[in-house]
Amino acid sequence: MRQIAIIQNKLGFFYDSEGTAIEALKLVDNLPEDSTTTESRIGIYNQLGKIYRQLLEYDKAITYYQKALDLVTAKHHQIILKNNIGYVLIKSGNLNQALSEFEDLHNSLADVQDPSEKARILNNYGKVKGKLNQPDALTYLLQGLAMREALKNGSEVIGSYMDVSKYYSETGDTIKAETYARKAYHLAKETNNSNIISETMDVIIELKSDSEVQLYKKISDSIKEANLLTEGKYASKKYDFTQQEKIANANLLQAEKEKNLKLIYGYTAILLGVFAFVWFLVIRQRHKKQKQLEVYNTELRISKKVHDEVANDVYHLMNKLQQEQINKDSVLDDLEAVYEKTRDISREYHDIDVVNNYQELLKDLISNYQSSERNILIKGISKINWEGLSETKKVAIYRVIQELMTNMKKHSSATIVVLDFKKQGRKVHIQYTDNGVGSNQKKQNGLQNAENRINTINGSITFKSQINEGFSALIIV
């Protein structure tokens, strides 16, 4: 299709050539993009640029030449297309812009390997200089002509003859103008191409001074131009419409996809919301059960403590009181012991005010386990921002430390206890260590309760102990 478009153009069937080139472009649009299709697209764009230049649609010609230029990477191809754009600028009357283009091309002549393209640059450079009345215009026109004559490229030599003829005509040398015009005409007759012959005859006719001939030429040119501008074939417009239709369909498809995605996102958000609500209910119920279990275990522990520690002592005291000889001081000592045990139990299970002065509350708790046989060291407690922790976490920390200290007092026989408080990132680390007798790490009820408390606030507690090697626990909240 592309080659047929070139042939149609050479035969002067410009609109047929346009339609064929557009069909070729449609075929390329439906093929995967690779080096072959890109090369074809460049060639079709270039051909359409040439067609629109001949149809006097200069803006459209430059548009297609520029599309081709945007795709090419080879230097010699870029030079050809820039030459084409410059030539259209000459034809459209944008002479200063055309001169700038050809000055750049002339400066790049060393990069041009094709002598035919060099000749074309020189000829066009001379042509635009001539139209701008620059004195060296003829030099470049003749250089281009000489190179074309050496290459024996008939059609390009004819073009140079006509350009030199027009230069002489514009400078007033009608004799030389007619000489080169007739050279072009005689060479054109050898091609047997009526279009080329017609173009050369137009140049000769323009040199005639007869008023009727000039009038005929003017009217003929006007009719030819009008026919070119008004002939009703709109292949490029149809192609542009097809492309816009493709874009519109693609936009509709994209909009439909976005609509479907929004629906999916919406349903997903609803499902996540429902799942989150259900999960919240499960967690709340689990937390409620955990609290109930803690209350139950606390009641059992209080009951056991009262039975094991207080009730037995009270029973022992009752036996003493039944004796005939009562030692008042001994009874008072036993009553004081009972009182201290009930006070300890009360302190262990009373409500904790964690809102006000929590740091001092912790220190007071720990200091209660200090004795003449046991030394307790507290490190870094003042460096923790206790106000940043929730009440739930502070209660859990308090109870767990209380559990550790109680466990130590009952079972470890420790003489040194260290509590080290640290802030690492957003977490609070509490390291408990003692030098007691240790254990086989089998968790008693108290340690199991401590672990449960920490788990409920999404923290962690790790125990480490061996017999006769002390006991340690790391709490992270």
Confidence of residue 435 (pLDDT cuts 50, 70, 90): very high
Predicted confidence (pLDDT) at residue 194 exceeds the cutoff of 80: no
User: Could you tell me which residues come within 8 angstroms of residue 76 by beta carbon, excluding any fewer than 6 positions away?
Assistant: 111, 112, 113, 114, 117
Cα 441 to Cα 407, 437, 445, 470: the distances in Å are 12, 12, 12, 11
Confidence of residue 113 (pLDDT cuts 50, 70, 90): confident
| pLDDT value, residue 376 | 94
* Cα dihedral 268/271/276/282 (nearest 10): -150
Higher pLDDT, 282 or 223: 282
Q: Provide the residue type at 206 as one letter.
A: E
Predicted confidence (pLDDT) at residue 357 exceeds the cutoff of 90: no
Tokens representing residue 454 in the block = 């920490």
Q: What is the DSSP letter of 409?
A: I
Predicted confidence (pLDDT) at residue 297 exceeds the cutoff of 70: no
| pLDDT value, residue 416 | 94
What is the residue whose two structure tokens read 């009972």? Answer: 338
CA distance 472 to 477: 17
Higher pLDDT, 466 or 471: 471
| DSSP code per residue over 260-318 | HHHHHHHHHHHHHHHHHHHHHHHHHHHHHHHHHHHHHHHHHHHHHHIIIIIIHHHHHHH
pTM of the model: 0.46
23-42 mean pLDDT? 88
Confidence of residue 440 (pLDDT cuts 50, 70, 90): low
| pLDDT value, residue 336 | 72
Tokens representing residue 411 in the block = 């079972």
Cα 2 to Cα 13, 27, 38, 238, 323: the distances in Å are 14, 10, 13, 18, 129
What is the overall mean pLDDT for the chain? 82
| pLDDT value, residue 333 | 72
Tens of pLDDT, residues 38-67: 889 889 999 999 888 888 888 889 999 999
Candidate from 205-214, 407-416, 429-438 with smallest mean pLDDT = 205-214
Confidence of residue 226 (pLDDT cuts 50, 70, 90): low
Predicted confidence (pLDDT) at residue 293 exceeds the cutoff of 50: yes
| pLDDT value, residue 320 | 67
| pLDDT value, residue 288 | 72
Q: What length does the chain have? A: 477
Predicted confidence (pLDDT) at residue 245 exceeds the cutoff of 60: no
Q: Provide the residue type at 18 as one letter.
A: E
Q: What is the CATH number of domain 2-237?
A: 1.25.40.10
CB 117 within 8 A of CB 76: yes
CA distance 136 to 167: 12
| pLDDT value, residue 232 | 43
Cα 88 to Cα 137, 176, 217: the distances in Å are 18, 27, 23
CATH topology classification for 353-476: Heat Shock Protein 90 (3.30.565)
Give percent of the chain above pLDDT 70: 81
Tens of pLDDT, residues 126-176: 989 988 999 899 999 999 999 998 988 888 888 898 889 888 888 888 888
Tokens representing residue 264 in the block = 């999916």
Confidence of residue 362 (pLDDT cuts 50, 70, 90): very high
Confidence of residue 431 (pLDDT cuts 50, 70, 90): very high
| pLDDT value, residue 420 | 96
233-257 mean pLDDT? 62
| pLDDT value, residue 321 | 75
Q: Which range in 110-114, 334-338, 362-366, 407-411 is most confidently predicted, on average pLDDT?
A: 362-366
294 burial via Cβ count (<10 Å: 0-12, 13-18, 19+): middle
